[in-house]
Amino acid sequence: MKKILSIFAIIVLASFLLASCQTAQSVTDTTKEVTNRMTSKVKIFLYDIDEKLYGQVPEENRGGIEETEKTLMEENEKLKLAELKVKKAGLWEDYYSYEIDVAKKNRDIAKVELNRLKWEAIERSNLGKKDENLENIANLKEKKIELTSDIKNLQVEMKAVKSKIDSLDREINFLEERTGKK
């Protein structure tokens, strides 16, 4: 009976392994197919030019190409500008996230300070257990120091992100002036 169960378990396991291999292969095949379709559609618009062959084209047959090349350069700069703005937006998101973290830490410091003052009031009133009161007060003072340190580290991160934003601002301003999009 045990042999039959063991053989059955091996057959089931082998079936699962084969099925997963076939599934992985079908996913790979589908991915390749979609990629090929997308690539062929892109190639419709972006046929590579043999520059040696194009170099043989006489000037009189190059009408409109110089203006279109200029347009392409301008559009590349506009694309770069848009990408920089997206990057800047991401950095602002990081900055505001740090700002939220700082606000939460400041709130936690206020809570810790309030609790410390309450424990000190309890201790001054000779209520509760003296050892526990003093331990709680010490722990709260330590927690405040830890939170203050966390805030300083977050502020350093915020300054670094702000510096990156300022750098991007300069680059964005330059491109906006150059593309006339200011």
pLDDT digits (tens, 9 = 90+) for 92-150: 999 999 999 999 999 999 999 999 999 999 999 999 999 999 999 999 999 999 999 99
Confidence of residue 48 (pLDDT cuts 50, 70, 90): confident
- Residue 132 falls inside a structural domain: yes
171, part of any domain = yes
Query: How many domains are contained in the chain?
Result: 1
| Residue bearing tokens 């601002």 | 169
Query: How many CB atoms neighbour CB 140 within 10 A?
Result: 20
Locate tokens 């906006």: which residue?
176
Residue 41 in domain: no
Provide the CB-side half-sphere exposure for 76 (13 A, CA).
6
Which pLDDT band holds residue 67 (cuts at 50, 70, 90)? very high
User: What's the pLDDT score for residue 51?
Assistant: 85
Q: What angle do the packed helices 65-124 and 130-179 form, to 10 degrees?
A: 160
Domain that holds residue 109: 80-179
pLDDT band at 77 (very low <50, low <70, confident <90, very high): very high
Q: Is residue 35 part of a domain?
A: no
pLDDT band at 43 (very low <50, low <70, confident <90, very high): low
3-state DSSP assignment of residue 46: coil
pLDDT at res. 182:
57
Q: What amino acid occupies position 144?
A: K
Residue 26 lies in a domain: no
Say if 66 falls within a structural domain.
no
Of 112, 115, 106, nearest to 151 by C-alpha is 106
The reply to whether 124 falls in a domain is yes
Average pLDDT in the 81-90 region? 96
On whether the CB atoms of residues 144 and 112 are closer than 8 A, the answer is: yes
pLDDT on residue 47: 73
